[in-house]
Amino acid sequence: MSAPAVSSLRQSSSASQAFEIRPFDAPLGAEILGIDLGTPLNAEDFARVHQAHLDHGVLVFRDQHITPEQQIAFSRRFGELQIHVLKQFLLAGHPEIFIISNIVENGQPIGLGDAGKFWHSDLSYKELPSLGSMLYAQELPEEGGDTLFAQQQLAYETLPAELRAAIDGRRAAHSYIARYADEVFEGIQRPRLTPAQLAEVKAVVHPVVRTHPETGRKGLFVNENFTTHILDIPEDESRQILAELFAHSARPEFVYRHQWQPRDMVFWDNRALIHLATGCPRHLRRRMHRTTIQGDAPF
């Protein structure tokens, strides 16, 4: 099993931080208290955070006061960062940060307002999908705005035997534009993609069940946002199997619901989870900054 491209050894001289990892009473997730991500972690502290990420799938770093540069620096310790295809929603001067926001200024959205209305794993439509994403709360609504996370390894392990046999060894296609036209925010259609942007998001094929490159655990790797069909079976059979997988993958017993607090930084494992944004009342402002870490080719 491969290890992440980390640079923790370079930080070995930093002072250790006293922080607590507190698992949630949920199928996944833990919060980390007393850590300052604005200060580079030494090798031992970074290894502890890295292992917690593998153990819990979702980490919530509470009460962070970090700059865009610090968010980028911490994210890069896990690997190369991916730049989103919608360049108009990248933070000025920091293209590694993708703005997710429902705020409209001068008739134009400042970020992607409808990100996550369907269950998905970030960038599953790329040849090298995301290892993980870090989402940092900038401005939160007074109500709503929760994010749901579903553990896909548990989902695979609890599949009915017949359904598990039906997907054994199968591959599925993923496409960024599969539901692109369905994503409308406050009457504003998503930006029309240019030929150059379309070339960045050509459809790819991944295994329906992937093996986690660090833990070796198997999990479902299909999602309703980007997965279009299973290869080498009739179209109606593909639709039926995917419908069953999508329904099973988001069962309540696999889900952690994150209720955001000010200055939360949430780091989740896209190799093991899918997630969903629940939305908030349209008149309440929400702004988040996301960095996305490149992962390995699924196998």
DSSP class of residue 256 equals: E
Q: Quote the CA–CA distance of 6 and 51 in Å, as a whole number.
A: 13
Give the residue ranges of DSSP H helices in 57-194.
68-76, 152-157, 161-167
CA–centroid distance for 272 within its chain: 10
HEC sequence for 175-242 = CCCCCHHHCEECCEECCCCCHHHHHHCCCEEEECEEECCCCCCEEECCCCCCEEEECCCCHHHHHHHH
Closest by Cα among 222, 216, 217, 193 to 125: 222
Which pairing describes strands 94-101 and 104-105: parallel, antiparallel, or unpaired?
unpaired
Amino acid at 146: D
Phi, psi dihedrals of residue 105, rounded to the nearest 5°: -125, 130
Let me know the angle formed at the C-alpha of 50 by 42 and 99, rounded to the nearest 5 degrees: 95
Residue whose token pair is 């006061």: 65
> β-strands 30-33, 58-61: how paired?
parallel
Identify which of 39, 60, 91, 21 has the alpha carbon closest to the alpha carbon of residue 263: 60
Q: Supply the residues annotated as catalytic.
A: 120, 122, 275, 290
CA-to-CA dists, residue 138 to 85, 168, 272, 287, angstroms: 22, 42, 26, 5
Residues 6+ apart with CB under 8 A from 134: 71, 74, 75, 265, 266, 267, 290, 291, 292, 293
